[in-house]
Amino acid sequence: MASSSNNPDVKYDVFLSFRGKDTRNNFTSRLDAALRRKMIQTFIDDGLERREEISPSLLEAIERSMISVVVLSENYASSRWCLEELAKILDCKKRFGQMVIPIFYHVDPSHVRNQTGAFGKAFDALKKRFEGRLDVLQRFIFGRSPPLFYPKQENDLLQRWETALMEVGKISGITTDSKRESELIEEIVTDILKRLTKMSPSAHSDLIGVESTIKEIESLLEIGSNDVCIVGIWGIGGIGKTSISRGIFNKHWRYFEGSYFAENVREESERRGLTFLREELFCKILEDRYANIGLTLTKERLAHKKVFIVFDDVTSLDQIKNLIGDLKCLGLGSRIIITSRDKQVLNNFCGADKIYELERLHHLKALQLFSRHAFKHNGDTIKEYMELSEWMVTYAKGVPLALKVLGSFLLGKTKREWVSAVDKLKRCPHKDIQSVLKINFEEIS
């Protein structure tokens, strides 16, 4: 899922910093597994050999992460390795604006900030190890033990670590006391998902002219409420039902316990059969490909699962009944989107709570979408092609799929080729455009 940040070389969503002996085999491993289940790309240093100096590969992983999660356990500050990680993390926060989430794992934030309490004792133990090492060094050099001094490099390191602990202790983070670990991990994962969503490029960056439509459909879905909500999206072929529902699905699916996008149900059920589609669906939301929809056990499992499912291009209620049964019997908070060209299917058969009708794009938005595919670089129409572009947009009748097909067809072609294409379309429509528009002509005739 790793995407944008002020750092152009982002590779990971989350870097996990922790002291292995404290949390590797319990809290941190469970958190890492929960993040990975949500397709969040994490970096955890399980495979790296611990040495005196922090490895360059680890420093690079910190730099290339969008968020650093620091699990501040009681003995975190006893590890020179952990403190170097922390200092590097806070350096990336300043340089790249990297997000830092401290988890105060059974420690008080003020103890981290001021190096006091049990957390402070762990840091003191590290400093004493420094003193012991330097004392041995001075005995070797001087043959005696003069008043202890810290070389400048060691003093700088200690100061760097103290400053890092003070800074991370001031960051608003997550405390673990009085919370069940499972609830705590769920809370952390949800928080990280929200932050990543805000930091990522728009999920609808390739959808032109439908920003308000997406917001209206999201409003109808009422994501976050506890009921089961079914929203139907109705519109002619090629108008963007699949693209819009896919954009909404990609934005929200990680917030559910199970999710599935059943694309082109009509065609896929004819090609591969509903049994295959049902197995695929159950594999995704129940992790059980061979669950039997007729069994009470399967129904009970579905009733306890908060899911987000899109059924795209549905033509009858039987398709949904065969795939998953009664939609209203899904777990609380579940959300279902059904797209169809037939409003009656949504209204009378599928039981959609709300139906949203998609309309053709207005001319300016249609021109923008066409230009995005015809000229690629920035989506602006080149002046000398404006008249020809206007003709193409009018020909496509505001249907997004038609605009994309035409634009892609003309991409990179000379003006003479554009003129030739217009002449041919006037006499004999381009076969892909014809198939897109044929559906619509049949439906309105």
pLDDT category of residue 427 using cuts at 50, 70 and 90:
confident
Alpha-carbon distance of 312 to 261, in angstroms, equals 8
pLDDT of 103 reads 96
* pLDDT attached to residue 14: 96
Phi, psi of 101 (to 5 degrees): -120, 105
CATH superfamily of 12-198: Toll/interleukin-1 receptor homology (TIR) domain (3.40.50.10140)
Strand pairing class (335-340; 354-357) = unpaired
- Tell me the mean pLDDT in the region 374-387: 79
Class of the CATH-defined domain 203-357? alpha beta
- Name the least confident of 112-121, 258-267, 326-335, 426-435: 426-435
* pLDDT digit string, tens, across residues 227-265: 999 999 999 888 999 999 999 998 888 889 899 999 999
Per-residue confidence (pLDDT) for residue 425, from 0 to 100: 86
Residue 441: the pLDDT is 54
User: Taking a C-beta distance cutoff of 8 angstroms, is the pair 436, 237 a contact?
Assistant: yes
Tokens for 244, please give them. Answer: 């819009």
At 265 the pLDDT is: 94
Q: Which residues of 17-47 are buried (b: 16+ CB within 10 A; e: fewer)?
A: bbbbebbbeebbeebbebbeebebebbbbee
Q: Please tell me which residue, 438 or 319, carries the higher pLDDT value.
A: 319
Angle of helix 27-37 versus helix 181-199 axis, rounded to 10: 50
Domain extents for the chain?
12-198, 203-357, 363-444
Say whether 300 is catalytic.
no
pLDDT reading at 445 higher than 50 = no
Residue 391 CB-half CA count within 13 A: 13
Set 84, 85, 167, 268: catalytic member: 85
What b-and-e string marks burial along 310-337, b requiring 16 or more CB atoms within 10 Å of the CB?
A: bbbbbbbeebbebbbbebeebbebbbbb
From first CA to last CA, the distance across the chain in angstroms is 45
What are 317-335's pLDDT values in tens digits? Answer: 889 888 988 888 899 999 9
Confidence of residue 377 (pLDDT cuts 50, 70, 90): low
pLDDT greater than 50 at residue 444: no
> Residue 64's pLDDT is what?
92
Determine the pLDDT at residue 148: 45
Domains 12-198 and 203-357 share a fold: yes
